[in-house]
């Protein structure tokens, strides 16, 4: 179905905010500016030098292939693509805002970190801009200025920003490269040219992850204490559950690309967990048969919570109908957290 007028969306009506929606973050900039990174300064400098080279300067240029009209997509496929682009653009833009703010606030006290964050915000701005231009192929665009002003910001202390962003960069890398490799082997499913850009694009995310890893290595208590084991497990589990629940609500998107959502997610989870093995003191045992049994119970709980929310009953009766599913979700997450983890014992995590 062809739509002739371009629609600008502010995401207010399109996203129903919940725990699984891409979020905007802020942190304690003063605390971050006072970080002593001297114990791993060389590695951080080496990564900043890579950022400076700017390998992808000329990568995000739309070519002839984008000139095609995408009006031949049926309405369902079109909606699936718009949602994917909208969520991805918001996530990239959220990274841009956070990194830009950190860079601005660290300039005086911690110029090396400030420089690293400014290069990462440059990359995320490119990613978000490229996705927003892709949305214009479907006669839609995101009002990023409006989004900046009106979205709620979630506060995370610097150390939590490091765990969370390290993992979200690495999981982003594995998601993009897995889609790219799959479509390279199955070009008949490459229904839209955006995916052709994922190979170099995901290298940006990989470098961003390495930058956070280098910062964390300079802060040993983030990696070599008992508490750090709990946080590592907590953040690994949080990003895996969030992705799994989000993706299983969007199976149509993955099947349009010829991917089985569960297989795709399991691969990305295994790879991200393996990446974290080179940094975190513990990783999750994703091979434990209970791991996916419990994750699937979270999916059942989530699907029921969504179903009840859509029903036309009072908020009061909805709340009571939801209780058993909240209980199922929380108890499954609790059991997942307490499944035995795998110790990684990396030498540099010693004091």
Which spans of this chain sit near Fe ion (rule: CB under 5 A)?
A: 92, 124, 127, 169, 205, 208
Nearer to Fe ion, 115 or 205 (CB): 205
Instruction: Decide if 97 contacts 105 (C-beta within 8 A).
Output: no
Q: Could you tell me the smallest distance in angstroms from the CB atom of residue 24 to Fe ion?
A: 15
* Smallest separation (angstroms) from Fe ion to the CB of 292: 28
Nearer to Fe ion, 89 or 333 (CB): 89
Q: How far apart are CA 346 and CA 276, in angstroms?
A: 11
Q: What is the DSSP letter of 141?
A: E
What's the Cα-to-Cα distance from 311 to each of 16, 116, 322, rounded to whole Å?
Answer: 15, 48, 11
d(CA 33, CA 104): 10
Residue 5 has what DSSP assignment? S
Q: Give the residue from 83, 74, 119 showing the smallest Cα distance to 99.
A: 119
Q: Which is nearer to Fe ion, 137 or 204 (CB)?
A: 204
Joined tokens for residue 282:
């513990």
If the CB atoms of residues 169 and 247 are measured against Fe ion, the closer one turns out to be 169
Closer to Fe ion by Cβ: residue 151 or 208: 208
Smaller CB distance to Fe ion: residue 175 or 208? Answer: 208
Find the shortest distance in angstroms from Cβ 285 to Fe ion.
27
Least separation, in Å, of the C-beta of 116 and Fe ion?
12
Tell me the sheet residues that pair with 7: 140
Task: Report helix, strand or coil for 26.
Answer: strand
Please spell the DSSP secondary structure of 263-298, one letter per residue. Answer: HHHHHHHHHHHHHHTTTSSEE--TTSHHHHHHHHHH
State the nearest-atom distance from the C-beta of 204 to Fe ion, in Å: 6
**Shortest Cβ distance from residue 197 to Fe ion (Å)?**
12
Count how many residues are written for the chain: 351
């Amino acid at each position: 179905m062809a739509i002739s007028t371009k629609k600008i969306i502010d995401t207010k009506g399109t996203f129903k905010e919940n725990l699984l929606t891409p979020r905007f973050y802020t942190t304690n900039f003063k605390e971050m500016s006072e970080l002593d990174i001297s114990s791993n300064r060389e590695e951080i400098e080496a990564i900043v030098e890579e950022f400076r080279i700017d390998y992808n300067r000329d990568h995000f240029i739309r070519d002839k292939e984008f000139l095609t009209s995408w009006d031949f997509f049926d309405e369902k496929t079109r909606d699936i693509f718009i949602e994917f682009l909208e969520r991805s653009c918001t996530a990239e833009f959220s990274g841009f805002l956070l990194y830009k703010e950190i860079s601005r606030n660290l300039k005086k006290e911690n110029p090396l970190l400030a420089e690293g964050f400014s290069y990462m915000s440059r990359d995320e701005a490119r990613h978000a801009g490229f996705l927003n231009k892709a949305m214009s192929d479907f006669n839609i665009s995101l009002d990023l200025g409006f989004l900046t002003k009106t979205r709620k910001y979630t506060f995370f202390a610097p150390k939590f920003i490091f765990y969370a962003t390290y993992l979200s960069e690495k999981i982003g890398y594995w998601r993009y490269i897995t889609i790219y490799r799959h479509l390279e082997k199955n070009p008949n499913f490459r229904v839209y040219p955006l995916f052709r850009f994922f190979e170099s694009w995901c290298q940006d995310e990989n470098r961003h992850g390495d930058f956070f890893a280098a910062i964390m290595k300079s802060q040993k208590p983030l990696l070599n204490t008992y508490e750090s084991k709990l946080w590592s497990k907590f953040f690994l589990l949080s990003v895996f559950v969030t992705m799994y629940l989000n993706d299983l609500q969007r199976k149509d998107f993955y099947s349009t690309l010829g991917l089985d959502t569960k297989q795709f997610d399991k691969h990305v989870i295994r790879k991200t967990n393996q990446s974290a093995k080179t940094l975190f003191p513990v990783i999750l045992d994703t091979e434990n048969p209970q791991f996916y049994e419990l994750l699937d119970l979270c999916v059942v709980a989530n699907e029921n919570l969504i179903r009840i929310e859509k029903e036309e009953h009072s908020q009061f009766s909805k709340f009571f109908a939801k209780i058993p599913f909240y209980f199922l979700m929380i108890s499954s997450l609790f059991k997942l957290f307490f499944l035995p983890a795998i110790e990684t014992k990396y030498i540099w995590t010693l004091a």
